[in-house]
Amino acid sequence: MGNKQQKLTYSKVGLAFVVFYLILTLICVIWAFTVSDPKGKFVLLQLPVALQLAVIQELGYIKLFVGLSWFVIYPLIIIPTLVILYQIGAMINSFWNILRVNRK
C-alpha cells in the first residue's frame, strides 16, 4: 500500500451552522442566568432545545428526560443537533459545489 496522504476537508456551511447554533445557545444560557424570574429562566433555557424536545415528545421519549437537570439534557440534545446541523450544511455545501461545477 502506498503512503497516500488524504486531505482533510470540512464543510464551511456546516461549520457556520454549528457555530451559529452554539452562539445562539450560549446567549440564551447566559441570559437565563441573569434573569431573576424563574419562568423567564425556564423559557430561556428551553429555547435552544425547544424543537428537539417537541420531536422527542412526539416520538414518546419525553419520559426519559423527566427529572433530569438542564446540565444533563443539554448535551443529550445539543450534541446530536450539532452533528445533524453539520451534515445538513455539508449536504448544502456539496450541492452548491455540484451546481458550481456544472455551470463551468
SS3 state at 4: coil
Query: Which sequence spans correspond to the domains of the chain?
Result: 15-103
Residue range 53-91, pLDDT digits in tens = 999 999 999 999 899 998 898 999 999 999 999 999 999
Please state the φ and ψ torsions of residue 40, each to the nearest 5 degrees. Answer: -65, -40
Contact 76, 46 (CB under 8 A): no
Cα–Cα distance, 91 to 34 (Å, whole number): 38
Whether the pTM exceeds 0.95: the reply is no
What is the full DSSP assignment across 81-104? HHHHHHHHHHHHHHHHHHHHHHH-
Residue range 29-49, pLDDT digits in tens = 999 999 999 999 989 989 999
Cα–Cα distance, 9 to 101 (Å, whole number): 18
**Greatest C-alpha distance within the chain:** 64
